[in-house]
Amino acid sequence: MALQLNRNSAPIRMRNYGRIVQDMIAYATTLAPSQERDSLEIYIAQCMRQRNLVWNRDQEAGVQRVREDIIRLSEGKLQCNSAAFEQIMAQPNNTVTGQKKKKK
């Protein structure tokens, strides 16, 4: 008897972020407001910013754009209003833009 894998066949709402980010947002909406949920929101936002840089190398995804996309994907259940969110998202992101350290 063959083992059948369960696949998530729901359409991806924003292809530039992918199904993983969409599933993380769906999971975050099931959590009660807490420190864990705030940390997950920050992690999701960082992933979204990095994926947006890969998809659109020409433009930087600002904090406001990422926040709007999280609100849209979570249908208003996640707001990203914490002070830690603003502070971490304000840091520059050089990991995906192709800027590497020079070897000496």
pLDDT tens digits for 24-76? 999 999 999 888 988 898 899 888 888 887 777 666 667 788 888 889 989 98
In angstroms and rounded to an integer, the radius of gyration of the C-alpha atoms of the chain is: 16
Per-residue burial over 22-56, b = 16 or more CB atoms within 10 Å of its CB, e = otherwise = bebbeebeeeeeeeebbebbbebbbbbbbbbbeee
pLDDT computed for residue 30 by the predictor: 92
pTM of the model: 0.71
